[in-house]
Amino acid sequence: MKRKWLLATACLLLLFALTGCGKTVEEQIDSGVASAQTVFEENPQEPNTKLEGIELYVPSGYKAENSEDPNNFIVTKGQDSYILFVNQNETEDSKLHYQLLKDDKTKHIIKEETVEFDGAFGFTAVIEHDEEQFELVVSCGGIKMSTISEDKNIDEKLVDMMTIVRSVKLLEK
Does a structural domain hold residue 138? yes
Domain annotation covers residue 7: no
> In this structure, how many other beta carbons lie within 10 angstroms of the beta carbon of residue 53?
15
Instruction: List average pLDDT for each run of 10 residues in the chain, which is 173 residues long.
Output: 50 50 84 92 94 95 95 95 95 94 94 94 93 93 95 92 96 77
Dihedral sign for Cα atoms in the order 114, 118, 99, 168: negative
Distance CA 67, CA 107 (A): 26
pLDDT score, position 13:
52
Question: What is the number of domains present in the chain?
Answer: 1
Q: Which of 125, 121, 114 is nearest to 94 (CA)?
A: 121
Q: Which domain holds residue 65?
A: 23-170
pLDDT at 75: 98
pLDDT of residue 7: 47
The pTM assigned to this predicted structure is 0.85
The CATH number of the domain holding residue 53 is: 3.40.1000
Instruction: Output the pLDDT for position 6.
Output: 45
- Flag whether 1 is in a domain: no
Structure confidence at residue 34 (pLDDT): 93
| Residue 101 to residue 142: CA distance in whole angstroms | 13
**Rounded distance between C-alpha atoms, residue 4 and residue 24, angstroms:** 30
- How far apart CA 162 and CA 25 sit, in angstroms, is 19
Establish if 74 belongs to a structural domain: yes
Rg, C-alpha atoms of the chain: 15
Give the torsion through C-alpha atoms of 6, 12, 18, 20, to 10 deg: -130
- Tell me how far apart the alpha carbons of residues 13 and 19 are, in angstroms, rounded to a whole number: 10
What pLDDT sits at residue 62? 97
89, part of any domain: yes
Q: Is residue 16 part of a domain?
A: no
3-state helix vs strand vs coil in the chain, percent to 5: 35, 35, 30
- The answer to the question of residue 73 being in a domain is yes
Q: Does residue 18 form part of some domain?
A: no
